[in-house]
Amino acid sequence: MWRATTDAEANFIFDLLADPDASGPMLEYAQWLEGQGDAQRAEFLRLELVPRENEQRLKVLREQLDQRWLATVTSRRFRVGDVVRLLAGVCEGIEGQIAEIDPRRGRAGLLLHMFCRQTELFWAAFTDLRLVRRSAVG
């Protein structure tokens, strides 16, 4: 699990996770990061607001940034019941439904539908998921 380096950063993370659908906390955190000289993380947060339009650049940034930080900030997008698409690994491109969330390890347990069957729980990092459809519940 990633830990904030300052109290100010911890507050930004708290605000970001408290309201997952709001863009304000993301933009405020990005502005703060830029002021701290951390342009890459600031860029990632801004691009995350419109991930489909920025998929290629986000992919590059995901490879360069700390995986624990990425798991923390991307965890806000996912809820149990959401349908997601895997962006990497052996099941790349396959869609599944989130059955469990493990925020401490930055991952979600998915039920994948393959060959007319449902798989056992398949764990994937938040950074390897893209939201396809929000759950109707919640």
pLDDT of residue 137: 66
pLDDT of residue 58: 86
Looking at residue 127, what DSSP letter applies?
A: G
Looking at residue 126, what DSSP letter applies?
A: G
| Token digits of residue 123 | 């764990």
Residue 57's Cβ-side half-sphere holds a number of Cα atoms within 13 Å equal to: 15
In CATH terms, 83-133 corresponds, of 3.40.50.10310, 3.40.50.300, 2.30.30.30, 2.40.50.140, to 2.30.30.30
pLDDT of residue 138: 54
Q: Hey, which residues does 96 pair with through a beta bridge?
A: 84, 112
pLDDT tens track, the chain, 138 positions: 566 678 899 899 889 888 877 899 999 999 999 999 999 999 999 998 887 788 789 889 988 998 888 888 887 778 899 999 998 888 899 999 999 988 767 789 999 977 777 778 999 988 788 888 888 765
Report whether 25 contacts 16 (CB < 8 A).
yes
**Domain ranges within the chain, ordered by starting residue:** 7-77, 83-133
User: In Å, what is the CA distance from 92 to each residue of 52, 73, 88, 95, 118?
Assistant: 16, 22, 5, 9, 16
pLDDT of residue 16: 86
Looking at residue 27, what DSSP letter applies?
A: H
